Structure 1
Amino acid sequence: MKILMFLGTVRDSTPPRPARLGERVAKACFAGFNKQYKDDEIELVDVLDYPLEPVFKPHFSYSTRQVPAELDKLADKIASADGYIMVSPEYNHSMSPALANLLNHFGSSLFSYKPSAIVTYSAGQWGGMRAAMGMRTFLSELGCLPVSSMIHVPKAQNLLSEDGHFIKSNDEAEWFDYFGRTFSQLVWWTQAASNHKEQVDPLQIIAPFTQDPSQRNAP
């Protein structure tokens, strides 16, 4: 299975400290996933690596020759992935606007019929769980339904070092076990969806919306 992990933070300034706390969380999740699923491929997609134009324009609305190369390559990665892990901070009880902006550049047909897992974090006590509730709806509409188990990391700056290792070494086993509940669900649904798509191509049943709004119109 091929999994894409999206890191949804672009804040690289202080205060507050430390900047880009999500990097630590993503590294820890990356290590926890690899420890449990050595045979599966996981790749990090950092929103900071995709400078986007101020005016939003979906990937599918560009003509062939005008698609920004970075977005075109990412579209191919999204299409070829079997599942997704979304790592987001919480802004005003909502998901990262930078993550939503990047994901909204791509049509749901690239994500659809694949599962996703939600990982949120914060410097405070709630671990971004309020953002996670909204992400359930967002990801469902995007087509990559989130698994029921989620990961919340409160006070991440006290738990993880800059390189993503647990500051207290005896915390690793307990947290990796916690991560594993969500990753196990993700991998199970990823394998189930992938196996069924070999039997039935969902995009042959419901054509993707790629050109005109009338493709989604009621009669």
Structure 2
Amino acid sequence: MKLLIFLGSVRQSTPPKPARLGERVALACQRVLQANFPDMNVEIIDPLDIELDPVFKPHFAYSSQSAPEQLSQLADKIETADAYVMVSPEYNHSMSPALANLLNHFGASLFSYKPSAIVTYSAGQWGGARASVSMRAFLSELGCLPVSAMLHFPKAQEVFDESGDYLESVNDADRWDSYFNRTFLQLRWWCEATLKQRGEQDPHQLISDFKQSPSQRNAPD
């Protein structure tokens, strides 16, 4: 099984620590997933590693031969992945614009019929929880339905070090592990279920993908 963790921040650093806070959370998610599910290939997608054009143009708007190589490579990873973890801070009570911008470059058919998990964080006390409200609708529209359990990390800089490990000051690591696994065990269950079902029946053969014009979504006249 393949899982992608999308890091939803392009900040080079995050107050009050110089290191990127979102990167710590993403690395922590990767660490827990790999420890509990060694048969799962887990990769972090960092938007800082991807050069996007200043003028927005999604991958599916290019001809097959002219699409930027980085976008095509990521599109292939998204299509072959079996589940996703979306890691986002909160911006104006909503999800990260960096995450939304990156995901908007790809058609929903690449994400469809697979599960996702919502992970939010903050340097303050709310843990980015309000961002998860918009993320549920956004991910549902992509077709990678989020599992019910979510992860919220308030004051994440007091929980994780720069490698995604627990800080020495964290005395209840077992409780944190249990908190992680409440979400990731749900994600694993749905990942196995959808992977099996996709193997038995191609879902894209049931409902035609939207590829030609907006009228394909219209109700009958």
| Category of TM-score, reference length = shorter chain | over 0.9
Give the distance between the partners of 1:132 and 1:91, measured in 2 at CA. Answer: 11
Unaligned runs of 5+ in 2: none
CA RMSD across the alignment: 1.4
The equivalent of 1:161 in structure 2 is 161
Give the distance between the partners of 1:82 and 1:3, measured in 2 at CA. Answer: 6
Q: Is the 8 A contact 1:119 1:151 kept in 2?
A: yes
The equivalent of 2:83 in structure 1 is 83
Unaligned runs of 5+ in 1: none
Structure 2 counterparts to residues 47-86 of structure 1, below 5 A: 47-86=47-86
The equivalent of 1:208 in structure 2 is 209
1:176 is aligned to 2:177: yes
Per-residue displacement from partner, 1:66-107 (whole Å, max 9, x unpaired)?
101000000000000011000011111111101100101111
Per-residue displacement from partner, 1:133-175 (whole Å, max 9, x unpaired)?
1100100011100000000000011111112111135332221
Q: Is the 8 A contact 1:24 1:162 kept in 2?
A: yes
Give the distance between the partners of 2:71 and 2:138, measured in 1 at CA. Answer: 20
| AA partner of residue 63 (structure 1) | S
* Number of residue-to-residue matches in the alignment: 219
Comparing 191-200 with 105-114, which one deviates more in the overlay?
Answer: 191-200
Q: What's the TM-score once normalised by structure 2's chain length?
A: 0.94
The equivalent of 1:7 in structure 2 is 7
1:148 is aligned to 2:148: yes
Q: Is the 8 A contact 1:60 1:210 kept in 2?
A: no
Q: What's the TM-score once normalised by structure 1's chain length?
A: 0.95
Give the distance between the partners of 1:142 and 1:191, measured in 2 at CA. Answer: 19
| AA partner of residue 28 (structure 1) | A
Q: Is the 8 A contact 1:61 1:211 kept in 2?
A: no
Partner-residue secondary structure (3-state), 1:84 = strand
1:16 Cα deviation (Å)?
A: 5.2
| AA partner of residue 146 (structure 1) | P
